[in-house]
Structure 1
Amino acid sequence: MKTQTYQAKFACIGVIALLLLGTPVAMQQQAEGARTRLENICTLDGQREVKLTGLGLVVGLNKTGDGGKNLPAMKALATALKLMNSPVLGLDELRGADNVAIVMIEATVPATGIRRGQKIDCYVSSFLGAKSLRGGRLLATPLEETDISTDRVAGIASGAIRIEGDKVFTTGKIPNGVVIENNFINGFLNAKKGGIITLMVDSHKASFHTASEVAYSVNSEFGFESGKEIAKATGPNSVEVHIPKAYKNDAVKFAARLLDIGIDMPHTQARVVVNATTGVVIVTGEVRIDPVVISHDKLTIEVGGSGGATSGGRFVSVPQLPQESGQSGSQLQELVRALKQLRVPNKEVVHIIRELHRSGKLHAVYDEH
């Protein structure tokens, strides 16, 4: 007996990408019924990133450091010299040390974990008066977890700093600059519950419906060989899965097969994401607009109206959805397309969408950053 699979329930809707005056405004309408693997929308509970931080010294700068004028930097340099058996009598001896900078160091242990001796990247940032970190090297610096209950040294950071941008020179990256000193093993199996793996649905996909579909897909895949349902949705973003007896001694193999299961996404939540700085607008799902008239500068926009003429200025009419669609209102995609044709600046488009949201006429989750 073959494993049951879903049949696509809805026709695919292509991704719509629009550019406004040379700036990308992506109108993404994800395909309803689009098939994806669970690993693309779920993670395993227990698999989490760990942040490491530390305070260190960068040396070798070309008179762009902060050591000669900032007391904290001079104290840190004096401490470093003392640890290297080269103590100074007073901080006055370090007033000319403008090739040194005190920096904050950050690194991230991946969610999959890491073993002692392996290396990860780190980022350094000046927070005093340094003008540039270009050409500098970070002295060996211990890094710790941000969890205050843990005071162990998690890694040692050091190396040459690479400036990635051409405008900001006070932050940089050290590729493979952290040597891990302790094992980070992120378990995904809850042995206390008798061997359960919890699938965590991505926050942008989480819903009761999606969690139910995930559980159904898992049960369809393993139901025959297990003889029972092994997955149960416990919330909009979590699904508990019992490991079948055949995989009790190989949880990793089961997790790999679990995340490889295909699922037909029944729908995409209507969402509008706006970046006011860059003018990028991303639309997912069926985003509807109620009938409304918008007056913006010399532009008049009629959404879902009769399309009557106006006196003076520019006029945009956005038609309603076809009656056979079973929905009222108009599509946001049509409005943006019409504004593009009139060469409306990106920032004005963002303002218009923002006001539609504030007025309650925009039917979607609105996220502006």
Structure 2
Amino acid sequence: MKMLRFGVLVLALSVIAAPVLADRLKDLARIKGVRSNQLVGYGLVVGLDGSGDKAPFTNQTFRNMMNQFGITLPPGVNPNLANVAAVTVTGSLPPFAKTGQAMDITVSSIGNADSLRGGTLLMTPLRGADDQVYAMAQGSLVVGGFGAGGADGSRITVNVPSVGRIPNGATIEREVTSPFARGDTITFNLLRPDFTTARRVVEAINGYLGPDMAYAHDATAISVKAPRDPSQRVSFLSLLENINVDPAQDAAKVVINSRTGTIVVGQNVQVSAAAVTHGNLTVTIQENPEVNQPNPFSDGETVVEPNSQIAITEEPARMFKFGPAVTLNQIVQAVNQVGAAPGDVMAVLEALKQAGALRAELIVI
């Protein structure tokens, strides 16, 4: 079983060791100022089959909505809103979104509603960080989860029935001004800041457009001289974003996921000369209770006497040696020879880091 689990680790390592290919500029960077904007709103979902909530703010919202429709509920009347649920509506306004276009939204219950399946979201304004309304949402929900319960209180739930989506459920009512056509330059921001990658991007652009067309501000931002006319700028960017660039290799890292036992070792990880031994201690406790019967006609009672057997087994620890400046394949082969499980590999890597033999950043997530 140990060798089987570690085989998954070796497979992951062999994938990382594959040669790095050139990436397009559009895969390495994003244009400064061209971004999405988060929107949020509060509304009501109606038409539920008795799975709504009973939160006090739901009643208050329902009364306010009825007042807007010209219907005043008598004081003291507490409507039973088993078919209504208070929800938050969230969405992401895409860059360059225009008035009248549609966007997807997510609807989430904020009360104690059991399910939003079959519900309809009433018209809900979606606001941005500046408290301005940028879209209006409404429509029937698509819920992937569901739940079922029995009369004895037993219940089963699949996925999350209190969250749903409405494809194209919001209509954009206000546009966000974009700085795309401003200034004489366009700035690319690298997704992974790196000085070497920034230099290679500048060299690739200047080699394609001519000298001094691009320059780097730091490890993230690269500015390129661009035409002012918006139409020409679009054509200009369509050429730039397809330029191939060889990104720099990342810093040496070892990432450990302690929850799942996953270990990922980067290609540039090296280990100084070190000897490692790792053994396993197994404690086994076996219970064999003994039953003592009384003699016939003795008026005695049957007695159960405990009988515990404890055994301690320590597997012989095998020592293996790492040579100086080993490669990734050599690290994998050395650990495979000792037959270590992922949990044992974690302990070995952490010990190597503390000893100063692991030349990489150790990240535990």
Q: How far off its partner does 1:188 sit? A: 2.7
Q: How far off its partner does 1:233 sit? A: 1.1
Matching of residue 39 in structure 1 with residue 26 in structure 2: yes
Q: How far off its partner does 1:272 sit? A: 3.8
Q: Which residue of 2 aligns with 1:103?
A: 87
Matching of residue 83 in structure 1 with residue 68 in structure 2: yes
Q: Which residue of 2 aligns with 1:163?
A: 143
CA distance in structure 1 between the partners assigned to 2:30 and 2:277 by the alignment: 43
Matching of residue 197 in structure 1 with residue 200 in structure 2: no
SS in 2 for 1:216: helix
Specify whether residues 330 and 57 from structure 1 end up closer, same or farther in structure 2 by C-alpha distance, changes over 3 A only: same
Q: How far off its partner does 1:129 sit? A: 1.4
Q: Which residue of 1 aligns with 2:115?
A: 132
CA distance in structure 1 between the partners assigned to 2:90 and 2:333 by the alignment: 40
SS in 2 for 1:81: helix
Matching of residue 48 in structure 1 with residue 39 in structure 2: no
CA distance in structure 1 between the partners assigned to 2:61 and 2:326 by the alignment: 64
Per-residue deviation, residues 46-100 of structure 1 (Å, max 9, x unmatched): 111200001111112222221x3x2111111111222222232246331x21221
SS in 2 for 1:162: coil
Residues 217-296 of structure 1 mapped to structure 2, 5 A cutoff:
217-223=204-210, 228-243=211-226, 250-290=232-272, 291=274, 293=276, 295=278
Matching of residue 312 in structure 1 with residue 333 in structure 2: no
Q: Which residue of 2 aligns with 1:325?
A: none
Which segment is superposed worse, 254-263 or 25-34? 25-34
Per-residue deviation, residues 259-304 of structure 1 (Å, max 9, x unmatched): 11111234233334444444444444322344363647549xxxxx
8 Å CA contact 2:197–2:246 kept in 1: the answer is no
Gap regions ≥5 residues in structure 2: 146-157, 283-313
Specify whether residues 244 and 158 from structure 1 end up closer, same or farther in structure 2 by C-alpha distance, changes over 3 A only: closer
SS in 1 for 2:23: strand
Specify whether residues 34 and 23 from structure 1 end up closer, same or farther in structure 2 by C-alpha distance, changes over 3 A only: closer
Which segment is superposed worse, 120-129 or 358-367? 358-367
TM-score after normalising by structure 2: 0.74
SS in 1 for 2:72: coil
Specify whether residues 61 and 317 from structure 1 end up closer, same or farther in structure 2 by C-alpha distance, changes over 3 A only: farther
Identity of aligned residues (%): 27
8 Å CA contact 1:107–1:121 kept in 2: the answer is yes
The residue type equivalent to 2:59 in the other structure is M
8 Å CA contact 2:181–2:230 kept in 1: the answer is no
CA distance in structure 1 between the partners assigned to 2:133 and 2:333 by the alignment: 53
Gap regions ≥5 residues in structure 1: 1-17, 300-310, 322-327
Which stretches of structure 1, 4 residues or longer, exceed 6 Å deviation after superposition?
21-25
TM-score after normalising by structure 1: 0.74
Aligned residue-pair number: 317
CA distance in structure 1 between the partners assigned to 2:237 and 2:329 by the alignment: 40
CA distance in structure 1 between the partners assigned to 2:11 and 2:63 by the alignment: 52
8 Å CA contact 2:255–2:265 kept in 1: the answer is yes
Q: Which residue of 2 aligns with 1:71?
A: 56
SS in 1 for 2:89: strand
8 Å CA contact 1:143–1:156 kept in 2: the answer is yes
Q: How far off its partner does 1:362 sit? A: 4.2
Indicate the structure (1 or 2) with the bigger Cα radius of gyration.
Answer: 2
Specify whether residues 55 and 122 from structure 1 end up closer, same or farther in structure 2 by C-alpha distance, changes over 3 A only: same
SS in 2 for 1:232: strand
